[in-house]
Structures are given as C-alpha cells and as structure tokens.
Structure 1
Amino acid sequence: MPDSPKIQRQLPKRHDLAPLLKFKQPVWSATERRLARALTIEDLRTIAKRRTPKAAFDYTDGAAESEVSLARARQAFADVEFHPSVLHDVSEVDTSREVLGARVAMPFGIAPTGFTRMMQTEGEKAGARVAQQAGIPFALSTMGTTSIEDVAAAAPGGRHFFQLYMWKDRDRSMALVDRAAKAGYDTLLVTVDVPVAGARLRDVRNGMTIPPTLTPRTVANAVPRPAWWINFLTTEPLAFASLDSWSGTVAELLDTMFDPTVSIEDLAWIKSQWPGKVVVKGVQTVHDARRVADVGVDGLILSNHGGRQLDRAPVPFHLLPEVVKEVGSELEVWIDGGIMSGQDIVAALAHGAHFTEVGRAYLYGLMAGGEAGVRRTVEILSGQIERTMRLLGVTSLDELEPGHVTQLERLQPRVRG
C-alpha cells in the first residue's frame, strides 16, 4: 500500500482561533449556576432533595400507602407513543388557550399545594409572581401557608384560583370563600376526594408535624442543609391561609378539618354561593363526571390527588377519553397527576384534556431555588411544550388530537368469567 500523505501542519493564528474559542462568562450566583444545570423537572427534584430536610421533601415527593397510584400515573405518560406529521411550517407555535373564558399563555397552571412555605420560605408568593409573569393561573390551597389577601397582593395582575376543602365547620369554610371573592379570585376549585386523609406513610415515619418537630434525627438531617433552616428560623413564622395555628401532626390536622358528609347537594349549594367559575377537583369515574356535570359546574379535574389519597385509584390519564366523550361538550375537562414534563402536558391535551395543572413539578423548582426555581420549572415545561408541538407538526394547541398519541397498554382489566 502506498504511504499516506503527511498532514501539513501550521501554527494557529490568533484571528483564526478567536471565532472557535469562546470563554464562558462566570456566573457568580450559586442559585443561578445550580438552576442552569437543571434541564428537566427530574433534575430540579434531585436538587430539591439535596437542599430540603427529609420530612419536608417527603411530604411533597410522597404519596399514600405503597405509592402505587403515583407510579402508575407517571408510567401512563411514559407509555405514550407520539405520531408526528412532517413537512409543516412550524416556525411559529401558539401555546395559548382560552380557559374558563379568559386566555392563558400556556396550557398548564400551578396547582394548589398545602404547607408550601415549609418546602421553601418564599412559598406561595413565589408561585403567584411567576405565574403572573408567565401568564398562567395560580391556585391557592385552603392548606396554603400564605393568606388569601397576601397572595393577591403579591401578584396583583395575576389570575388566581382558590381551592376549597369543605370543612366540618361550614361557616368557616364559606368565610374563606367570601374572602377569596373579595380578593378578586375568579375561580373556585372544590376538592371532593378527601372525606378523610390518605395514609401518607412517609409523613408518619418522619413524624411530620406543623411546625417541624426537632428530634436528634431531624437535627442530624439539617446539618447539611443550613440554608433551609436559616430561612425557616429567620423569616415570618409559618402560618396558614385558613387557620391560626396547629401543633399536631399533618394527618391529625387533615382529619380534624375534612368533612366525610359532603354530598352532591353540598356541591350545588357551594356553586350557588360563589360568584365566579366553579371547577370540581378529584373526579375519578365517568359516573361521577356525569353527576358533577349535571350540577352545572364549569369544569372538572380528573385527579387522584397526586396519589396521596386512595392508593391504586384510577389513573387520570387513562380516564380522559371516556370522560371527555361523556361530558366534554358541557364543561372543561382538566387533568393533574403524574405530570413531569411538557411532553406529558402535550400528550394530555392530545388525549382530550382542555387544561392541566402541575403541583410537584412546581414544588421541586421552589425547593431547588425559590422564586428563581419556580421560574425554571415554567421555562423547562414551556420549552418542552413548544419543542414537542413543533416535532409533532402542529402550530396551535387546537391542532392536537387523539391521532397524535397512542396509549400503549400495560394495565388492562381482567375479563371476568
């Protein structure tokens, strides 16, 4: 074989190197550096776990009993197969949608979450401010740790929902509803899957209390997480949107508050008391979707409470097509539970959902970096939504339809003989 010709070499010239070498500008903020490395919601979860005491992190991350419902909800989205269409101009995509009579910038909102300032001291105010900036709704929980009025003041131009647990003390519940209406909240989310608290075993094992109880184990767990404790101890004491104080465990608080007698008649009565839109959260069967629709509410959320109530409850994503077929022409059908990416949101919309809500994804961002972390959550989800739409060949949410997704079958009911 002939010898290969020798490679001609020369010393590089500075003007040739300049366009090839660009030194990265240093980022002085540790929070910014941390969040910039987070490319997915799972990345934010990893950071959150590292920076948050175990009891607070597990309250967010955990679910009921064996946590089967949570695992199945996430698996349902993993089992989606997309069907893209090519050769379309997708240089511009529109991620907005009309939700309950008003336009939102993206097809997801921040779900109501309890004890939020325990996760990170900026709490609900951070979520409300980011939601306002992003043009999406923010929902405050009855078990939130910032008052109804303070959330409204933190994001005066934002769109606010109030989530109601119907308590045994009805007058106290309706006093909250009245406060929310006066503060400008436009939608009431009535949660109906909490006759009693679910068995959240992580919280039991962690001895989860409000405020956190100091034990040798919690002190040891706090040592590598000084920032959380400094923030917790040097900011406004933990308080609730709906009660003055509580010194017991979370489970004891929930069982004291939740009313196991709430019925469909109560839902109709609540609707008559509220001047704005009403959405029912926690529907888990087609039959109940029909009952709720017959009350005349404006929407329902297919939700098993993020797997935190009845373990092995139906997977909301699996229910979507049947529920939309039954009541989708009468009200808006939303979904939550198991959503960890923008792809999950797009799959839900193509499968029939009108809108989605994210809870854990928001809290992972909050724990990872406060308000900046929540902003990073929204950036990740919105970027994934836009990219997935382009790759599917659609330019608006209205173009998404069942033909874009196949739900690969993993769990099927056994045929009874």
Structure 2
Amino acid sequence: MAVNRRVPKVRDLAPLIQFKRPQFDATKRRLASAFTIEDLRRIAKRRTPKAAFDYTDGAADDELSIARARQAFRDIEFHPTILRDVSNVTAGWNVLGQPVVLPFGIAPTGFTRLMHTEGEIAGARAAARAGIPFSLSTLGTTAIEDLVAAVPQGRKWFQLYMWRDRDRSMALVQRAADAGYDTLLATVDVPVAGARLRDNRNGMTIPPTLTLRTVLDAVPHPKWWFDLLTTEPLAFASLDRWSGTVGEYLSTMFDPSLTFDDLEWIKAQWPGKLVVKGIQTLDDARAVVDRGVDGIVLSNHGGRQLDRAPVPFHLLPTVARELGKHTEILVDTGIMSGADIVAAIALGARCTLVGRAYLYGLMAGGEAGVDRAIEILQEGIIRTMGLLGATCLEELSPKHVTQLRRLGPISPPA
C-alpha cells in the first residue's frame, strides 16, 4: 500500500526536540539514573572498593539465606481491589508508641563509615527528614553521643550486642538512655560470629590495611581512599580500638551463654521500649513475648549469621496470627522495594527495617544517596498501595497478598 510522504517542516520537529539542562553535579547525575534499589546497588559496586562493597553485599557461607529472603518477596501475588478512591494515599502510623511517616526504619549496620565517610550521620539525617527511625549499631562507626550531637532531630534506636563483659554492655545501654534513644534493639541471633567468607577472602580488617590487593583495588576508587585517609580513623566508635579481622573481633566479644533470663535483666536496666531482634521460630517468638518485651524483629541477620536459616518473611504470617495482638512485629532481611514493605505490612508487620538498601544508597552518593534510597522505597510504597486500592496502612490485610512457595519442607518441623 502506497504511503503519501511530505518534506518535514521545522514546526513539526520542534515539539519532538527537547534538550535537558545539563547536570554538572556528578552525584546528582548518578542518583538521577537510579530508579530502583538494585540500580543503587550497581552504582555502589562501581564506586566502592571490593572489600567494602562485599562487607555490605555479602552474607554467610554460601549466601543462600539472603538469596532465599529476596526470592520470597519476589514470590508473592498481589490481589488488588478496584474502584476505590486512592487520590490521597498515606503510609504513616504509630510504631512503638510514636508516629512514623513511612512503615520502615534504617536497620543497625556495623562499620558504616567504611561504605562512605559520611557514615551513620548521613543515614540519621536522611531518616529524620523522612520521618522514620534510625538505628545505631553497637558496632557503629559513630559514637552514641556524637550521633545525637550531629543529628539532634528524629527518632533514634540503639542496637545492643550482649558482650561477655556485661558491665561494658550495660554501660552502652546507659549511654544510649542518657543520650535520648527511645528504643533498644537487643540482638539475640549472634551467639558466635557467622562465616563471612567474602570478608575472609578479602582480608577484611579493622581498620582496613594496605596490601598489594587493596592497593590495586584502590586505583579505580581514589575518592574513597582520599576520604578514608583524610578523615577520622575508622573504628567501632563506641568501643575500644581493635587491630585484627572483623570475624576475630566478633568471636572474642559475643556471649554464647546468653539466655532468656538475660532479657529480663536487660529490660530492668532500660527505661524505653525493648525490642528483641533475631527471632526465627514461632516458639522463640512466644517465649520472648511472654517476657513482656514491646516488640520483636523477625530476622536472620540479613543472612549474615546462620546460612539456610528460616526466611523471616515466610515466618511473618504465622507469628502475626498468634502474637500480633500482643506485641509489635517488625521484619527485616531481603527488602529491596516499596512493594516488599507493603507485602510485609499486609501480612502483619507493624514496621520493617532496611539495611543493605540504605547502604547501597550511602555508597552510591553519601547522604544524598540515602535520601534517594528512601525516596525510591517511599514511591514504591505509595504506588503499590494505590494499585491495591488501599489509602492507608490500616486497610492492608492478608487478603491483598499470597505467598508462593518455591521451597517447602518435606515434612513439618518437629
């Protein structure tokens, strides 16, 4: 069939030719190209030395736990409701007695200034702007008091590892209370350190040491090394200095004798909300809730402790059905999108925690990168809720989500 053609006119081309104003800020230019957390991960990998990136990205042993956790969020089916007015969607409610703007917080992460020199301060500032909690790890690279001095606004939670030396542990708890942290996250899934094989292969030490491998790896990352060498020495800021590998440090400090009785002792020392992090079975969830804690975090430590551990997202519906009316349930591990967060809330979580997603943003662009990570998650939450026909978190329920299992037990656990 013949097509009539004509000579194009300038006025026809004008609407089709649009030039964007050039962006000369390299960080803004990088972050503008990130539309997902995975995009931030790819940028982070390019910009960060291998040992630092692997410390965040890696997990224990064969890294099956983190792979399964992420796959569990992919393996869901959403069930939208139609013809609802979703012109105004909000995603805030109360978590542990105080309001949050979004149903997630920044998880506690160790060695954070290794990823970017701005470290925890960048994360806390971004969290405060977004109206979400920020958690400081016992193994953080900013001291308890210094974080509050730098970022006085916003909610702050402190994550506690119980050391063999209980007096040292309780000294940290007292410092956090005095500094105004409102929630204590008592981590209970680390009786001994997991096998972080990437760290072992990379010779990851505290502080980083210069070897032939690290020197060669530094060549494409001069900015990272410049920041490392021209700022405060990298260390676990709330603890004593240590020279050796991360694994060696953790193995000397963690207390393998920790029991349920210790929870009651911790509770008596802490004036704020107490949340137990690292719950991986329904029985343990029951036992912890029976001891009067304010919340639990279903977590396998981001897959960084026991490989092949239960997937927290799979455990969530069962725990929520039995214990959701008696305690607040948080969940972490494997969250990479706003849709993941919506699915967790629909199945009974009160809040979620993101660790790697935040650190990918930090590595990609410092404080601005954390802002972008939070923005990506926020946009995903609001969009997913709107598509499901939910205008607020209270309207989400298990009817909106079906979990599809790729793996199932051959026989139920005894």
For Structure 1 versus Structure 2, the TM-score category normalised by the shorter chain is: over 0.9
2:283 maps to 1:287: yes
- Contact 1:85-1:392 within 8 A present in 2 as well: yes
Match of 1:6 in 2: 4
Q: Which amino acid aligns with 1:223?
A: V
Match of 2:166 in 1: 170
How far, CA to CA, are the matches of 1:4 and 1:205 in structure 2?
67
Q: Which amino acid aligns with 2:321?
A: K
- Contact 2:184-2:274 within 8 A present in 1 as well: yes
Match of 1:186 in 2: 182
Q: Which amino acid aligns with 1:199?
A: A
Q: Which amino acid aligns with 1:401?
A: S
Deviates more, 1:320-329 or 1:127-136: 320-329
Match of 1:301 in 2: 297
Task: Determine which of 47, 59, 65 is the counterpart of 2:55.
Answer: 59
Alpha-carbon deviation of 1:223? 0.3
How far, CA to CA, are the matches of 1:10 and 1:68 in structure 2?
58
Secondary structure, counterpart of 1:195 in structure 2 = coil
Alpha-carbon deviation of 1:326? 2.0
Deviates more, 1:242-251 or 1:159-168: 242-251
Alpha-carbon deviation of 1:21? 3.6
2:268 maps to 1:272: yes
Give runs of ≥4 in structure 1 deviating > 4 Å: 16-20
Secondary structure, counterpart of 2:205 in structure 1 = coil
- Contact 1:342-1:381 within 8 A present in 2 as well: yes
Q: Which amino acid aligns with 1:208?
A: M
Match of 1:103 in 2: 99
Match of 1:132 in 2: 128
Instruction: In structure 1, list runs of 5 or more residues that go unmatched.
Output: none
Alpha-carbon deviation of 1:218? 0.9
2:74 maps to 1:90: no
Q: Which amino acid aligns with 2:9?
A: L
Alpha-carbon deviation of 1:22? 2.9
Q: 1:52 to 1:5 in 2, by over 3 A?
A: closer
Task: Determine which of 302, 324, 327 is the counterpart of 1:328.
Answer: 324
Q: 1:87 to 1:308 in 2, by over 3 A?
A: same
Secondary structure, counterpart of 1:379 in structure 2 = helix
Q: How many residues align?
A: 413
Secondary structure, counterpart of 1:149 in structure 2 = helix
How far, CA to CA, are the matches of 1:28 and 1:9 in structure 2?
38
- Contact 1:128-1:154 within 8 A present in 2 as well: no
RMSD: 1.4
Secondary structure, counterpart of 1:175 in structure 2 = helix
Q: Which amino acid aligns with 2:190?
A: V
Deviation digits for residues 215-246 of structure 1 (CA, Å, limit 9, x no counterpart): 11111011001110000001111132321311
How far, CA to CA, are the matches of 1:325 and 1:87 in structure 2?
29
How far, CA to CA, are the matches of 1:106 and 1:383 in structure 2?
11
Alpha-carbon deviation of 1:5? 6.8
Match of 2:381 in 1: 385
Alpha-carbon deviation of 1:82? 0.6
How far, CA to CA, are the matches of 2:350 and 2:88 in structure 1?
21
Alpha-carbon deviation of 1:6? 3.1
Instruction: In structure 2, list runs of 5 or more residues that go unmatched.
Output: none
How far, CA to CA, are the matches of 1:10 and 1:403 in structure 2?
55
Q: Which amino acid aligns with 1:242?
A: S
Q: Which amino acid aligns with 1:11?
A: K
Match of 1:367 in 2: 363
Deviation digits for residues 35-57 of structure 1 (CA, Å, limit 9, x no counterpart): 10011101111111111111111
- Contact 2:207-2:235 within 8 A present in 1 as well: no
Q: 1:328 to 1:230 in 2, by over 3 A?
A: same
Deviation digits for residues 149-199 of structure 1 (CA, Å, limit 9, x no counterpart): 111122211100000000011111111111111111000000000000001
2:119 maps to 1:123: yes
Secondary structure, counterpart of 1:296 in structure 2 = coil
Match of 2:72 in 1: 76
Q: Which amino acid aligns with 1:229?
A: W
How far, CA to CA, are the matches of 1:201 and 1:61 in structure 2?
12
How far, CA to CA, are the matches of 1:268 and 1:67 in structure 2?
33
Task: Determine which of 311, 314, 318 is the counterpart of 1:315.
Answer: 311
Task: Determine which of 226, 236, 239 is the counterpart of 1:230.
Answer: 226
- Contact 1:110-1:138 within 8 A present in 2 as well: yes
Structure-1-length-normalised TM-score: 0.97
Match of 1:213 in 2: 209
Q: Which amino acid aligns with 1:387?
A: R
2:404 maps to 1:408: yes
Q: Which amino acid aligns with 1:71?
A: A
Q: Which amino acid aligns with 2:4?
A: K
Alpha-carbon deviation of 1:9? 4.6
How far, CA to CA, are the matches of 2:180 and 2:362 in structure 1?
25
Secondary structure, counterpart of 1:146 in structure 2 = coil
- Contact 1:365-1:374 within 8 A present in 2 as well: yes
- State percent identity of aligned pairs: 70
2:249 maps to 1:253: yes
Q: Which amino acid aligns with 2:278?
A: G
